[in-house]
Amino acid sequence: MVKARLNPGTVIEGFRIDDLKHTGGMAHLWSVTREDDGAGFLMKTPVVYEGEDPAAIVSFEMEQMIMPRLKGPHVPRHIANGDFSKQPFIVMELLAGETLLSSLPKLPLPPDAVAELGARIADALQSLHGQGVVHLDVKPSNIMFRPGGEAVLIDYGLAHHRALPDLMQEEFRLPYGTAPYMAPEQVMGIRNDHRSDIFALGALMYFFATGTRPFGDPQRLKGLKRRLWKDPVPLRRLNPAVPAWLQEIVLRCLEVKAGRRYPSAAQLAHDLRHPGQVTLTARAEKLEQDGFFAVLKRRGESPMSLIDDPPSRQADASDAPIVSVAVNLDDMTPELADKLRRTALRILERSPQARLAVLNILKLNRIALDQTLDEQGNNKHVQRLVGLKDWARPLPLDQGRVTFHVLEAIDPADSILDYARINNVDHIIMGARANSAMRKILGSVSAKVAAEAPCSVTVVRNRALD
């Protein structure tokens, strides 16, 4: 089972931990050495301490799925993954140098330096988008540079891959990202638009050109939503040294409507490298924010109406249904577990593009304080995750076709129903609770789900339970 804390000298699957390089909100970074050849790498491990946010585990799962699929000089080379049943980790190339965060004391930078920096980051985004990935957390601390000058984007815990299920979208309702750089559509829960990264790069260039963040650093959703109707102070008002062409480029990146931004990172990089060819509009000469009535008009519109031109869906829901199976790890006989698997396979065989979402509910107390670690110091969320993967292991499904979700809730039936509604689940499969006095008192979870679900429900029962 996963260890809550690691220490220098620990050896994990052939990698010896040397020292802790960085502690973040969701993960630790360690320098490690591979024992068989002495090569040095970077190891990332998720934060699974008592009381930590379950999103740390989910985002780590996403990164483990995405990183092995990435190629090229703009991403760290992936070396190995560690399974949650033992010790989850990602081992990757150890990049020399520091992140772009080290440049903050030098702000504001000269306009030409901002343009060169932005162009190199745009090159990295173009490569990433071409591989079907939206980063969704472009910020100084997630950008490094190779000796040859190529920008490297790191940390894919919040990223979206068009060929993989989006666990962050499915399990969490609040938007995840870094407040100063989040695009309006990202604030509203849209995670599959590559132009969100172009907005974030625009916010970064604004910051590096003026020394001021365009939208501040709001910590609440209400503050994040202000960027949907209130435009930033024009760069040239804060720093007169900013040329008109750079203001034109940056403010275009920061347009609320994604359709008004650069359609690709490649076109953005081109403009940054060829300022004499930039077509100047009213953005270039702007010195004041929009007036009171313009802001009031935008604020009166519905938030989603301000975000036009959303990306088209990858496939119609009818061609790729989501089948959800609720697995009760606390009360599951081998016979019922096998019946659930066989039922899921029969349903999946009807739709070759169907996805299976395996759920477990970690029941919370109504009054007492919940503990995230058990008596042995193991993280309960991780234990459930490992249990679900063990249940699904006999299923002949490729990676990306099955996902695992540990949902924390007081009412299991309501949690399953909420998941089905929010994620457009087409079919729910679940086992029936055995006959017992508790069932008579509390009622059946499966009965409530079957009565209220917005989709088809199959309840699996052992004959011995009838």
Q: pLDDT tens-digit profile of 417-435?
A: 988 888 888 899 998 866 6
Extents of the domains making up the chain: 11-92, 100-306, 322-465
User: What is the model's pTM?
Assistant: 0.83
- pLDDT of residue 297 exceeding 60, the answer is yes
pLDDT of residue 303: 74
Q: Is the pLDDT of residue 60 over 70?
A: yes
pLDDT (0 to 100) of residue 280: 95
The arithmetic mean of pLDDT across residues 108-114, rounded, is 98
The pLDDT, as a whole number, for residue 466 is: 40
The domain made up of 100-306 is a member of CATH 1.10.510.10: yes
**Is residue 441's pLDDT more than 50?**
no
Regarding predicted confidence, which is higher, 403 or 53? 403
Q: How far apart are CA 431 and CA 446, in angstroms?
A: 7
Name the CATH topology of 11-92: Phosphorylase Kinase; domain 1 (3.30.200)
Residue 299: pLDDT over 60: yes
**Mean pLDDT highest for which of 4-8, 170-174, 287-291, 315-319?**
287-291
The pLDDT score that the predictor gives to residue 317 is 39
> pLDDT value at position 315?
34
The mean pLDDT value for 49-64 works out to 82
pLDDT at 301: 80
Q: Which residue has the tokens 């100084």?
A: 140
Q: Please check the confidence at residue 323 and state whether its pLDDT lies above 70.
A: yes
Work out the angle between the directed axes of helices 195-210 and 244-253 (0-180°, nearest 10): 140
pLDDT over threshold 50, residue 438: no
Per-residue confidence (pLDDT) for residue 403, from 0 to 100? 85
* 3.40.630.40, 3.40.50.620, 1.20.1050.10, 3.40.50.1170: CATH of 322-465: 3.40.50.620
Q: In which band, very low, low, confident or very high, does the pLDDT at 314 lie, cut at 50, 70 and 90?
A: very low
Q: How far apart are CA 55 and CA 384, in angstroms?
A: 15
Mean pLDDT value across the chain? 88
Averaged pLDDT for residues 384-398: 91
Predicted local distance difference test score (pLDDT) of residue 171:
85
User: 3-state SS of the chain?
Assistant: CCCCCCCCCCEECCEEEEEEEEECCCEEEEEEEECCCCCEEEEEEECCCCCCCCHHHHHHHHHHHHHHHCCCCCCCCEEEEECCCCCCEEEECCCCCCCHHHHHHHCCCCHHHHHHHHHHHHHHHHHHHHCCEECCCCCHHHEEECCCCCEEECCCCCCEECCCCCHHHHHCCCCCCCHHHCCHHHHCCCCCCCHHHHHHHHHHHHHHHHCCCCCCCCCCHHHHHHHHCCCCCCHHHHCCCCCHHHHHHHHHHCCCCHHHCCCCHHHHHHHHHCHHHCCCCHHHHCCCCCCHHHHHHHHHCCHHHHCCCCCCCCCCCCCCCEEEEECCCCCCCHHHHHHHHHHHHHHHCCCCCCEEEEEEEEECCCCCCCCCECCCCCEHHHHHHHHHHHHHCCCCCCCCCEEEEEEEECCHHHHHHHHHHHCCCCEEEEECCCCCHHHHHHCCHHHHHHHHCCCEEEEECCHHHC
Least confidently predicted of 183-187, 360-364, 449-453? 360-364
Residue 249 has pLDDT above 50, yes or no: yes
Strands 89-92 and 40-46: what pairing? antiparallel
